[in-house]
Amino acid sequence: MTPAPTPEAAASGAPTPPPSKKPAPTIDSKGLQRYKMLATWIIFIGVLVVCFVGVDADFMALFSDGARQNMGRILGEMMRPDWSYASHIWKPMVETVQIAIAGTIIGAVLAVPVALLCAVNIMPKKIVSIPARMVLNLVRTVPDLLFAAIFVAVFGIGAFAGMLALVFFSFGLVAKLTYEAIEAIDPGPLEAMTASGANKIQLIVFGVIPQALPYFFSYVLYTFEVNVRAAAVLGFVGAGGIGLHLDQQLNSLRYDRASTIIVITLVIVLLIDYASTYLRRKLL
Amino acid sequence: MIEFKNVVKQYPNGTIGLNNINLNIKEGEFVVIVGLSGAGKSTLLRSINRLHDISSGEILVDGKSITRANGKQLRRIRRDIGMIFQSFNLVKRATVLRNVLSGRVGYHSTFSTMFGYFPKEDHDIALDALTRVNIREKAYIRADQLSGGQQQRVSIARALAQKPKVILADEPVASLDPLTTRQVMDDLQRINRELKITTIVNLHFIDLAREYATRIIGLRAGEVVFDGPVSEATDAKFSEIYGRPINEDELLAADAPKGGVTV
Ligand SMILES: Nc1ncnc2c1ncn2[C@@H]1O[C@H](COP(=O)(O)OP(=O)(O)OP(=O)(O)O)[C@@H](O)[C@H]1O
Ligand SMILES: [Mg+2]
């Protein structure tokens, strides 16, 4: 009939309630369940064995003399970090956090319109939501380091490539989490806004955003936490940040300096995690 | 004010929601629609502001066909129709005032509402609406901190902020206790009388229907089986509408001691 949004369509986007009642287990279904259990374990162990063979897993290597000696030597050097080196890494450390912040913010901003297009309670037309989801899933299949490697190849070595990589990564993560949150919002206010003569954008501004915003911010903070960690290793593919220096020190066997970098990175990541988790708890 | 012409509504799964409805509701009437669960009360109400599309026939609101309207015209007609829901449908995290102001969006361009800004006149209209339902002092409180009855009054205020010609209420008191039920119904009645807003309410309490309505419409299986003033809506007529004798629980009065005593 008419393309006007109807609550029938909106209701279909609501999360389905968990199944309420299971049928009472009978003798038969109990036996069946035992078989299912057994089959699950057999499959699980089978997969594990195939994987071990695939990676040439040799647990004895963990305890071989060579490994023990290497481990002892490296750990020994790492136990004595070269603190004088710390003054050299503040700049790249700050750059790392900057990459994470810029990547998160730009990615999150780009994620908003796409999340709205993906949510079926906002976009009942499948012709829009299905392609939007396809693009999103495509972006999400690419790991952040691969993005970084590609952008380093295109734009050259440096923080810009790293930031772009995190823009794409954050975009995928935030858009996916946000559209799922949007689909779970209470459809009531949307219906009320439609009934009062609101158009689509007004419906979003007054019905969707007030409900979804706390979730969105929480996801952005979470993405930022993940991005700080990712930014710390982006340097291994030349995409700026502290990882470049860690790579250099490891390659020149300066484990004392590497451990300075690791310790400082750890402290920064923990601080950011702590602050972010605190904020997220406040939000929701 | 509202005219149904041969209205049929068939749901996509084949269920007939409304079967050839012809009605003419005049300005200022307080119409109560009664009928068993599944009789088509909500379908009838929601087809008036086209939350449901009808399959054939036509509905006129204030002389304009909402059935044929599209886009901007449709939103313009909806702006004149306030709606009140059983579950209030407020944005729970937003303040009461914010919720009431959202009833004003139909009067503004997309651009000016995009940033959530409303002119001072709108604030005055919203506060005025809250005063009318006696919860002006709750304006700056978050909606989820109010009781059910208060939330329903906020949703009435939101409808009033639209400056509507018609108010539709779908089981507005079904989730309220008997005392707040009366307060909310009194509010609706006062608004209907003072502002001359045509009001259509779905109810399942027979005594409430008789007490507040100026006209009662009985539905059964998507058809109008009774339409007349309260004086004609006798117990016998109700039994006809329901196809069986009236139950105790269809009377609010019978419900009251239960709801009142048990805590
Ligand atoms: N979205 C839908 N899809 C299919 N059938 C529907 C839908 N909504 C309602 N119906 C059917 O249409 C008929 C009328 O439903 P309606 O909700 O209007 O009844 P009602 O009188 O409001 O009942 P209640 O008192 O339970 O609210 C019922 O048979 C119902 O099952
Ligand atoms: Mg109903």
Q: Which ligand is nearest to the CA of B52?
A: 1
> In 3-state terms, what secondary structure has residue A166?
helix
Same-domain check for residues A37 and A170: no
Distance separating alpha carbons of residues B198 and B218, to the nearest angstrom: 18
Q: What integer pLDDT is reported at residue B32 of this predicted model?
A: 95
Q: Which helix (H) or strand (E) holds B9?
A: strand B2-10
ipTM above 0.85, yes or no: yes
Order of strands, edge to edge, in the sheet holding B223-228? B81-84, B166-170, B198-202, B30-34, B215-220, B223-228
For residues A46 and A176, membership in a common domain is answered with no
User: Is B230 in a helix, a strand, or coil?
Assistant: helix
pLDDT at res. A222: 94
Are A134 and A239 members of one domain?
yes
pLDDT tens for the 284 residues of chain A, in order: 334 443 333 333 333 334 444 444 455 566 778 888 899 999 999 999 888 888 877 777 777 888 888 888 888 888 888 888 888 888 999 999 999 999 999 999 999 999 999 999 998 888 988 999 999 999 999 998 999 999 999 999 989 999 999 999 999 999 999 999 999 999 999 999 999 999 999 999 999 999 999 999 999 999 999 999 999 999 889 888 899 899 998 899 888 889 999 999 999 999 999 999 999 888 87
Q: What is the pLDDT of residues B234-251, one digit of tens each?
A: 887 878 787 777 777 777
DSSP H or E stretch at residue B21: strand B16-25
**Residue A8, domain member (yes or no):** no
Does B94 contact A207 at a Cβ distance shorter than 8 Å?
Answer: no
Task: Quote the minimal CA–CA distance from B29 to chain A in Å.
Answer: 21
The model's pTM: 0.82
A–B: how many Cβ contacts below 8 A? 92
Beta strands B2-10; B81-84: pairing state: unpaired
Residue A27's pLDDT is 53
What integer pLDDT is reported at residue A253 of this predicted model? 87
Q: Which among B8, B9, B13, B15 is the best mutation to test ligand 1's pocket, defined by most ligand atoms within 8 Å of the CB?
A: B15
One domain, residues A210 and A133 = yes
Evaluate whether residue A33 is within a structural domain: yes
Residue A95 lies in a domain: yes
What DSSP string describes B63-81?
TEETTT--THHHHHHHHTE
Residue B226 three-state SS: strand
Ordered mean pLDDT values, 10 residues apiece, chain B (263 residues) = 93 92 94 92 95 94 91 93 95 94 92 87 94 92 93 95 95 89 93 94 89 93 91 81 74 52 33
Number of separate domains in chain A:
2
Please report whether residue A7 resides in a domain: no
A188 with A237, same domain? yes
B78 interaction partners in chain A (CB closer than 8 Å): 194-197
**Distance, C-alpha B76 to centroid of its chain:** 18
Helix axes A86-118, A209-234, angle to 10 degrees: 140
Is A119 in the same domain as A158?
Answer: yes
pLDDT single digits (tens) A183-226: 999 999 999 999 999 999 999 999 999 999 999 999 999 999 99
Which pLDDT belongs to residue A35? Answer: 87
Residues A122 and A173 both lie in one domain: yes
Q: Are B164 and B195 in contact (CB under 8 A)?
A: no
| Whether residues A230 and A260 fall in one domain | yes
Give A-chain residues touching B110 at CB under 8 angstroms.
199, 201-202
* A156 and A64 share one domain: no
B1-80+165-263: CATH, from 3.40.50.300, 3.40.50.12280, 3.20.20.70, 3.40.50.920: 3.40.50.300
Same domain, A63 and A197: no
CATH at residue A260? 1.10.3720.10
pLDDT at site B259: 39
Domain of residue A259 covers 87-283
